[in-house]
């Protein structure tokens, strides 16, 4: 990221022409934001025991429950009690 105008007033040794800033967090609307979102979801789902499928990484499988993820929508299929358990665990995140 380019150094914003007037940033040198806050930090004089960082100049606009000699330095750049590294973004530590993804910003909404950037190409990498979707990847960062998916990596976070994948990490949290793995804590719940949901593992990505071999053919489709958006399909997460665990003990008789199938969870299909599409951006921020989910389709959960499985035994009624198991689906309720997974939904409860996801709501705790």
- How do residues 43-84 score in pLDDT, each as one tens digit? 999 999 999 999 999 999 998 899 999 877 899 999 999 999
Neighbour count for residue 61 (Cβ, 10 Å): 15
Buried b (16+ CB within 10 A) or exposed e, 18-31: eeeeeeeebeeeee
pLDDT of amino acid 89? 92
- How do residues 20-41 score in pLDDT, each as one tens digit? 777 767 666 777 788 888 898 9
Ramachandran quadrant class, 51 (left: phi over 0; alpha: psi -120 to 50; beta: rest): beta
DSSP class of 57: T
> Average pLDDT of 9-18?
79
* Pairwise CA distance, residues 51 & 7, whole Å: 44
pLDDT of amino acid 26? 67
The domains located in the chain, with CATH, are: 30-92 (3.30.310)
* Pairwise CA distance, residues 88 & 29, whole Å: 30
DSSP class of 64: T
pTM, full prediction? 0.67
């Amino acid at each position: 990221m380019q150094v914003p105008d007037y940033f040198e007033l806050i930090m004089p040794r960082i100049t606009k022409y000699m330095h750049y800033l590294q973004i530590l967090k993804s910003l909404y609307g950037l190409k990498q934001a979707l990847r960062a979102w998916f990596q976070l979801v994948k990490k949290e789902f793995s804590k719940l025991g949901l593992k990505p499928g071999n053919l489709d990484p958006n399909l997460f499988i665990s003990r008789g429950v199938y969870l299909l993820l599409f951006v921020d929508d989910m389709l959960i299929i499985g035994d009624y009690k198991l689906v309720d358990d997974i939904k409860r665990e996801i709501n705790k995140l």
